[in-house]
Amino acid sequence: MTNYKLNSLLCAILCMVFLGVSCTTEVDYTQGVEFVPSNQKMELKRRTYKGGVMREGELKESLAMAATRNIITDSLRSSNLDFAYLGTEHSDTFGMRSAGFMTQMLFSMSLHKGRGWGYRPIFDSMCLGLYVSDFHGDTTVKQRFEVYEITSNEYIKLSDDTTFYINFDPTPYIGAEPIFEFTFPNQERGVYVGDIEDPKIRPVRLENTSATMEYIRRLMFLNDLEANNGFAYDKDSLYVTGNEKAFVEEVKGLYIKPKGDVEGRGAVYSTKLSESAMYLYARGRYEEDPTIIRDTTYMLYNFYLNPSTFDVDAGNVSVSVVEHEEPTLTLEAGINLVDGMGGYVTEVEFTDEMIQSLADIALANEGSVVSVNQAHLKVYLDGSDYDPRMISPLEITPKLNAAMPSVGLYTDYNRGIGIVDYIIGSSSSTYDGILNRSLACYNMDISTFVQSLMFAAADNLLEDGKTVDFAKFEEGYEPSEECLVDYRRLYIGPDAAALFCFNRQAIYGGDTDGAAKAPISLELTYTIVD
Q: What is the DSSP string of 418-476?
A: E-TT--TT-SS-S-EEEEETTTTEEEEE-HHHHHHHHHHHHTSB-TTSSSB-GGGGSTT
CA–CA dist 98, 90 (Å, integer): 9
Return the bridge partners of 377, or none.
444, 522
Low-confidence stretches of the chain (pLDDT < 50) are: 1-34, 36
CA–CA dist 373, 375 (Å, integer): 7
**Cβ(85)–Cβ(322) below 8 Å:** yes
Please give the pLDDT value at position 18.
Answer: 39
Q: How far is CA 274 from CA 278, 330, 369, in A?
A: 12, 40, 56
331 three-class SS: coil
Q: Within 273-392, where are the H helices?
A: 352-363
CA–CA dist 87, 145 (Å, integer): 8
Q: How many CA atoms lie within 13 A of 366 on its CB side?
A: 2
Q: Of 280, 86, 97, nearest to 183 (Cα)?
A: 86
Q: Within 221-371, where are the H helices?
A: 244-250, 352-363
H-run or E-run covering 379: strand 369-380
**Cβ(251)–Cβ(70) below 8 Å:** no
190 three-class SS: coil
Please give the pLDDT value at position 478.
Answer: 64
CA–CA dist 421, 306 (Å, integer): 31
Query: Structural domain boundaries of the chain?
Result: 42-73+343-529, 83-325
Q: Of 336, 311, 417, 310, nearest to 77 (Cα)?
A: 417
Return the bridge partners of 489, or none.
349
Neighbours of 117 (CB within 10 A): 26
CA–CA dist 266, 89 (Å, integer): 5
Q: Which residues contact 23 (CB under 8 A, 6 or more apart)?
A: none
Please give the pLDDT value at position 37.
Answer: 56
Percentages of the chain per state (helix, strand, coil), in multiples of 5: 20, 35, 45
Q: Of 336, 507, 484, 498, nearest to 408 (Cα)?
A: 498
Q: Which residues contact 333 (CB under 8 A, 6 or more apart)?
A: 513, 515, 516
CA–CA dist 265, 271 (Å, integer): 20
CA–CA dist 58, 56 (Å, integer): 6
Burial of 410: CB neighbours in 10 Å, binned 0-12, 13-18, 19+: buried
CA–CA dist 173, 111 (Å, integer): 28
Please give the pLDDT value at position 482.
Answer: 61
Neighbours of 112 (CB within 10 A): 13
Phi, psi of 228 (to 5 degrees): -120, 30
Q: How far is CA 307 from CA 78, 81, 153, 270, 495, in A?
A: 16, 11, 19, 20, 25
Q: Say how far residue 339 (Cα) sits from the centre of its chain.
A: 9
CA–CA dist 323, 341 (Å, integer): 9
